[in-house]
């Protein structure tokens, strides 16, 4: 669970400090993907830190699945996170602005769409696994996703045409921040759930294992 928190914090820090090494890069006006674009000066550093990020997410996904026990929704969340990890092991890079788009740019968009869908499914099943208050919080996060996703869509066509996109970086980072915050809250909620289960039953660890479908003999 701690790895889920650390992965989100790492990704946020990547977005804060890596742009410093890209002369002329504008956080408000440029996307996160441009930090790892072909020939971008920050590509190597981004990819190296992204490896650490995805390993932390993998550990988190494994932890979610192991902690699910009889909760089907949590097992699904753990599985979806692992699918997210597999897809995000490699992202086809986009080109820097002003270059002719190629197949890798198209694939980059496909990867982004699939990743976004996975994030939404992770949140939906995560919400169904926990309390009503967390479901309300997840609905609020969905509203943020949809609202700023539309705003991203209004400026995105300007990227391949090398046209001004004055606020696309802001809209995208709000969406990213919303998801990273959701993961942190989700991880904390799961840790509290585990503590509650252990507090109610000192032998809960043994009982849960016996009731875990994957561990029955």
Distance CA(151)–CA(194), nearest Å, equals 39
Mean pLDDT of the chain: 89
Domain boundaries defined on the chain: 2-215
Q: Would the pLDDT of 171 be above 80? A: yes
pLDDT of residue 200: 63
pLDDT of residue 211: 40
* Chain mean position to CA 67: 20
pLDDT of residue 199: 65
Distance CA(30)–CA(156), nearest Å, equals 10
Distance CA(75)–CA(4), nearest Å, equals 16
CB-count burial class (<10 Å; 0-12, 13-18, 19+) for 61: buried
pLDDT tens by residue, 122-137? 999 999 998 899 999 9
pLDDT tens by residue, 107-162? 999 999 999 999 999 999 999 998 899 999 999 999 999 999 999 999 998 888 88
As a whole number, mean pLDDT of residues 159-168 equals 91
CB-count burial class (<10 Å; 0-12, 13-18, 19+) for 184: middle
Do 8 and 178 contact (CB within 8 A), yes or no? no
Q: What percent of the chain has pLDDT over 70?
A: 90
pLDDT of residue 201: 59
Alpha-helical (H) ranges within 101-165 are 103-129, 132-155
């Amino acid at each position: 669970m701690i790895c889920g928190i650390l992965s989100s914090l790492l990704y946020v820090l990547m977005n804060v400090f890596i742009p410093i090494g890209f002369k002329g890069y504008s956080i408000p006006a440029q996307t996160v993907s441009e930090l790892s674009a072909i020939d971008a000066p920050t590509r190597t550093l981004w990819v190296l830190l992204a490896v650490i990020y995805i390993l932390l997410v993998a550990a988190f996904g494994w932890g979610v699945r192991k902690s699910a026990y009889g909760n089907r929704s949590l097992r699904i969340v753990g599985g979806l996170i692992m699918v997210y990890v597999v897809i995000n092991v490699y992202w086809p890079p986009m080109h820097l602005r002003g270059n002719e788009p190629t197949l890798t740019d198209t694939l980059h968009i496909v990867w982004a769409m699939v990743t976004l869908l996975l994030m939404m499914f992770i949140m939906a099943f995560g919400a169904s696994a926990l309390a009503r208050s967390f479901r309300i919080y997840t609905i609020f996060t969905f509203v943020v996703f949809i609202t700023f996703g539309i705003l991203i869509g209004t400026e995105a066509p300007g990227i391949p045409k090398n046209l001004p996109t004055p606020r696309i970086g802001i809209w995208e980072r709000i969406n990213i921040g919303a998801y990273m915050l959701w993961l942190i809250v989700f991880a904390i909620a799961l840790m509290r759930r585990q503590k509650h289960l252990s507090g109610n039953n000192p032998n809960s660890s043994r009982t849960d294992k016996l009731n875990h479908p994957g561990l029955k003999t």
